[in-house]
Amino acid sequence: MSFRAFQVEKTDAGFVRSVIDRDVDDLPEGELLIDVHYSSLNYKDALSATGNPGVTRVFPHTPGIDAAGQVLASNDTAFAEGDRVIVIGFDLGMGTAGGFAQRIRVPSGWAVKIPEGLDARASMRIGTAGFTAAECVQKLEQSGLTPASGPVLVTGATGGVGSVAVKLLAGLGYEVVAVTGKADKQDFLRSLGAVEFMTREEAAEGADKPLLAERWGGVVDTVGGDILFNAVKSLRYGCSAAACGLVAAPNFSASVLPFILRHVNLLGIDSVQLPIAEKAAIWSRLATDWQMDLADLEESLTLHSLSGAIDRILAGQMVGRGVVDLYAED
């Protein structure tokens, strides 16, 4: 059985991307064979597609850390043919052939049944990026965040994680302040619910100071670097920042002072290896009390338009969520 797939191959001239025909027999072992209807484009997919060894080491390879579709065959009684499923994280699209293909075969422990209230396309508008945003908000609320805590800062606000975080937080009644390097996207962010804006330069001011004025009731940081720790230094007493990204830098200058003088918390967020039961619980919330209409965030992509979108996301030119329709024709 053949299917279409986006493939990255390592050559003497570099990493070459193409759309090819593959055979199901070439897929890795796993309990579930899935007909992938939709995937989504994440920053990590772009790193995989350009040969970043921290993401993917073995080529040729099909990226795509997200997939949503229907079970074609199952060796696990927990899943039946026809079940609608989501797979995000674990090794999908990193070392294992990923969601930028019409078929994947994966361990059943990686899959979650799509809850009522979501369909495959809507789930991929969320994807890993939106799921990570929801995980940030959940962990912040578990650490005490409420709308009364004060304004919530979202960095990298026009990106996949940031844009969903802005919309989710605003919908839950939070006052959202958005950091962006794209001055022309303030109207877009305002439409998502942001009420105030900061430039990257403003967010980076004071990196040489041990503490900054208390301002934030919470922080969703998608960029890392000194912007992250500036946000930590600006947290109100007892409040928390959730860190989930490193597009600016993986390192920052820090001291213990915010932690021991203001009782603040820096929360780590990982959506890759999060236990499947916890993933299922967050997906359930995204289909019920945290359900959002993200259609306005979607940029529709096909297998053939993926390569250009990968270049744009690496250049910081993507806004919102790129959703890949595996059966769409260009």
Same domain assignment for residues 11 and 140: no
Where residue 60 sits, what CATH number does that domain have?
Answer: 3.90.180.10
- Predicted confidence at residue 162, as pLDDT, reads 95
- Predicted confidence at residue 329, as pLDDT, reads 84
Give the model confidence (pLDDT) of 73-98 as tens digits: 999 999 999 999 999 999 999 999 99
What does the block give as tokens for 277? 């039961």
Same domain assignment for residues 192 and 86: no
- Predicted confidence at residue 102, as pLDDT, reads 98
- Predicted confidence at residue 252, as pLDDT, reads 86
How many distinct structural domains can be found in the chain?
2
Q: d(Cα 19, Cα 62) in Å, to the nearest integer?
A: 10
Give the model confidence (pLDDT) of 286-327 as tens digits: 999 999 999 999 999 999 999 999 999 999 888 889 999 999
Where residue 255 sits, what CATH number does that domain have?
Answer: 3.40.50.720
Same domain assignment for residues 17 and 137: no
Residue 235 domain flag:
yes
Strands (E), the chain: 2-11, 14-23, 32-41, 66-74, 84-88, 103-106, 111-113, 152-154, 176-179, 194-198, 216-221, 235-243, 265-268, 298-301, 321-325
Same domain assignment for residues 306 and 236: no
Give the model confidence (pLDDT) of 9-24 as tens digits: 999 999 999 999 999 9
- Predicted confidence at residue 181, as pLDDT, reads 87
- Predicted confidence at residue 320, as pLDDT, reads 87
Residue 170 domain flag:
yes
- Predicted confidence at residue 236, as pLDDT, reads 98
Quick check: 265 and 241 in contact, CB under 8 A? yes
User: Residue 212 to residues 100, 215, 237, 259, 261: CA-CA distances in angstroms?
Assistant: 44, 9, 12, 13, 12
Euclidean distance between the first and final Cα of the chain, in Å?
23
Decide if pLDDT at 59 tops 80.
yes
- Predicted confidence at residue 270, as pLDDT, reads 96
The strand pairing partners of 34, in sequence order, are: 71, 104
Could you tell me how far CA 291 lies from the centroid of its own chain? 16
- Above pLDDT 90, what percent of the chain? 91
The strand pairing partners of 322, in sequence order, are: 41, 299
Quick check: 136 and 228 in contact, CB under 8 A? no
Residue 24 lies in domain: 2-114+294-325
Same domain assignment for residues 261 and 138: yes
- Predicted confidence at residue 318, as pLDDT, reads 87
- Predicted confidence at residue 55, as pLDDT, reads 94
- Predicted confidence at residue 319, as pLDDT, reads 87
Question: Is the alpha carbon torsion for 286, 289, 295, 298 positive or negative?
Answer: negative
